[in-house]
Amino acid sequence: MSYFIQVILSSQKHLDKSLDYTFLHPWLGTGLLTSTGSKWHSRRKLLTPAFHFKILDDFVEVFNNQSNKMIHKLLKKADGKPFDIFPFITLCTLDVICETAMGNNINIQDNSESDYVQAVYRQVSSREQDFLTKFTTSSYNVFSSRIGALVQYRQARPWLHPNILFKLLGYAKEQDACLKLLHDFSYKTIRSRRKEYQQMKKNTTFNEDEIIGKKKRLAFLDLLLEYSEQHTALSDVDIREEVDTFMFEGHDTTAAAINWSLYLIGCYPGIQARVHEELDSIFGDSDRPVTMADLREMKLTENCIKEALRLFPSVPFLARELKEEAVIDNYRIPVGTTVMIVTYQLHRDPEQFPNPEVFDPDRFLPENVSKRHPYAYVPFSAGPRNCIGQKFAIMEEKILLSSILRKFRAESVTRREDLRLLGELILRPENGNTVKLFPRE
């Protein structure tokens, strides 16, 4: 199975996303996620330096500050009573991405009713709930992605694909309202940061150290503005596409990964005890912030995250539309075919992962990884179109997860056999992540 996946993902020819991704265009335009051909190649080359390790190092401060705010809120819930921790983690990751992508600390964790949050998340309408109950065995999570849910809802219903029907049935109006708020926020921030950038150029000389964040922490947006002036002209629309793409890819996926990691660790007390031991060996009883050196020492914590991403990959499937014929196992797959890669199933291949349903972080010890096919595990995709922000994601996930486990012992309430999964754009637990938290002594 892994070889078949390699044929598609490793190819420089099969780079085009499937038609399903076109429903993201009103929101994300043709940024790095959705673009193809020469535009994708040029954007990928342009954006790669934005994920230089020195820039990621500078973001550690943001990860620490926002996770501390989350911990203060969780302290009020650490009384052994069950509650859904998913929204707490999601709001934290949204704060992180707003600050790292936009340079805006908009304090979402203390203002979850803000217009921006309401555009991204929403209660499900009764019409959608009734429809889903009638035609499917599951329903949307109450705390679900608003714009993402609209996209997924449309993708799954062919009669909503034509724009005229999408409009006549009222969905376009809701989508347009969400997009206006999200895009207005992005454009307002771009204009403001561009003005600040121009003023800074007048007052100081921008050098390489500043570009990589050594003297001043620059958001992803600031780096795009700098690249626009130094390398190529990027319009506000171009910059908005990439910032919105980073916002989309960089918080929902990360929130899901942290929640699944915490859920699984909460199901396995023995593994949680080992994680606590690792964190205690690094931090003792200190409340100090996490450093890059600390992250390198969190080997078991990272392996728990990787194993959670194996069992519950944030992106449960990938899709390509073939622009050239592909040959897989002597079968010729014609041009125009949509090839679907279901990572959820790929990661359960018993030849690559014996006893695949067992949560075993030691699968990711170096000696075990070396025995597997390189395309057996692709939570961040693989090949030329792999996730450009995967190091950013793993760093954030390690800091937020370790911050929780340094303070608390977690017990997951839902048994594995009782889990109900919700496969939207992101893989979520249908009923949230209900846990019990206990302060560590």
Give the span between the Cα atoms of 78 and 437, in whole angstroms.
Answer: 5
Residue ranges in the chain modelled with pLDDT below 70 = 112-145, 204-217, 231-232
| 387 annotated as a binding-site residue | yes
Give the span between the Cα atoms of 323 and 16, in whole angstroms.
Answer: 7
pLDDT of residue 139: 28
> 380, 319, 253: which is closest to 20 by C-alpha?
319
Domain 2-439 has CATH 1.10.630.10: yes
Token pair 């539309």 in the structure block, residue: 321
> In angstroms, what CA-CA distances link 283 with 37, 59, 159, 287, 388?
47, 20, 55, 8, 30
356, 349 Cβ separation under 8 angstroms = yes
Sheet bearing 434-439, strands edge to edge: 83-84, 434-439, 408-412
pLDDT of residue 123: 44
**Residues 6+ positions from 322 with CB-CB distance below 8 Å:** 14, 16, 333, 334, 335, 336, 337, 338, 339
pLDDT of residue 119: 56
pLDDT of residue 61: 93
Decide: helix, strand or coil at residue 34: coil
Give the span between the Cα atoms of 218 and 58, in whole angstroms.
Answer: 9
- Tell me, letter by letter, the H, E, C secondary structure of the chain: CHHHHHHHHCCCCCCCECHHHHHHHHHHCCCCCCCCHHHHHHHHHHHHHHHCHHHHHHHHHHHHHHHHHHHHHHHCCCCCCCEECHHHHHHHHHHHHHHHHHCCCCCHHHCCCCHHHHHHEECCCHHHHHHHHHHCCCCCCCCEEHHHHHHHHHHCCHHHCCHHHHHHCCHHHHHHHHHHHHHHHHHHHHHHHHHHHHHHHHHCCCCHHHHCCCCCCCCHHHHHHHHHHHCCCCCHHHHHHHHHHHHHHHHHHHHHHHHHHHHHHHHCHHHHHHHHHHHHHHHCCCCCCCCHHHHHHCHHHHHHHHHHHHHCCCCCEEEEECCCCEEECCEEECCCCEEEEEHHHHCCCCCCCCCCCCCCHHHHCHHHHCCCCCCCCCECECHHHCCCCHHHHHHHHHHHHHHHHHHEEEEECCCHHHCCEEECCCEEECCCCEEEEEECC
